[in-house]
A and B are shown apart, each in its own frame.
Chain A
Amino acid sequence: DIQMTQSPSSLSASVGDRVTITCRASQTITRALNWYQHKAEKAPKLLIYGASNLQAGVPSRFSGSGSETDFTLTISSLQPEDFATYYCQQSYTTPTFGGGTKVEIK
C-alpha cells in the first residue's frame, strides 16, 4: 500500500492566518490526491480532488497544489469555521489516508 505522511500533525493558528499543510506519498501518485475536512461528530467533507480541483461549494480560500509525491493544502485566510482536522487521501491505487492535521485556535 502507498503510505501518506502529513505534516504537521497539529497546528495552532489565528483567524486570518495563512495555513499550509503538506502531504507526502511513499511513491508517485501523479495528481490522484484529495483533501478532506473533518469536524467532530460531523460527516467528512471533500475540499479538493485531483490535487488542485476545488469541490463545488467549497470556499475559494482553500487551494491545493502538487504532483507525484508532494502535495500542499493552503487556506489563504483562516476563518472560524475552518478549525477542524484535515486529511489527505490518495486515489491512485487502493485508497489510503494521511494521519491528519488538527487545526486549532491559537
Chain B
Amino acid sequence: EVQLLESGGGLVQPGGSLRLSCAASGFTFSTYAMNWARQAPGKGLEWVATIKGSGRSTHYADSVKGRVTISTDNSKNTLYLQMNNLRAEDTAVYYCAKGIDTGTSTFDSWGQGTLVTVSS
C-alpha cells in the first residue's frame, strides 16, 4: 500500500524559510514522478512542483519559481520542498503526491497534507 506522510509545516514569518518533507513507502520511490500541490484557505488545488524522469528533472509553478526547490533522497525514500522568501500568499496545506508513472502529471496517491502559515 502506498503511503505518503508529510511533515515540516508550521508558522513562519514573511521572508522566512521552511523545508517540507514527505516520507514515502509502498512503492519503488525512484521510478515515479513526485509532486507537491497546495490548497490555500478557501481556495482550490494548485500544483506547485514536480520532480520526474530518470534524470529527475524539476518543474515549478510560476507562483513559486525561484523561491522553492524540489528534491529527493532516494536512500531515504523522501521528497522535499525547500521554500524560501515565503509570502502570505504561500499560506496553504501542502500535499505530497505520487505520479502515476515516471513522467505524466497524473497524481494517483496523495498524503494528508501539512499546513504552512506565513504570518507576522
Contact across chains for B47 and A96 when beta carbons are under 8 A apart: yes
Size of the B side of the interface (Cβ < 8 Å), in residues, is: 22
The answer to whether A43 touches B113, judged by C-beta atoms less than 8 angstroms apart, is yes
Interface residues of B (CB under 8 A from A): 4, 44-47, 50, 59, 61-62, 95, 97, 100, 104-113
Contact B47 A94 (CB under 8 A): yes
What's the minimum C-beta distance from A10 to chain B, rounded to whole angstroms? 12
Main SS of the interface on chain A?
loop
Total A-B pairs in contact (CB under 8 Å)?
58
Choose the segment among A63-71, A75-83, A97-105 that binds chain B (4+ C-beta atoms closer than 8 Å).
A97-105
- Main SS of chain B's interface residues? strand
Partner of B47, one of A46, A97, A100: A97
Q: Say yes or no: A49 contacts B108, CB within 8 Å.
A: yes
Contact pattern, A 30-44, Cβ under 8 Å of B = 1, otherwise 0: 001010101001111
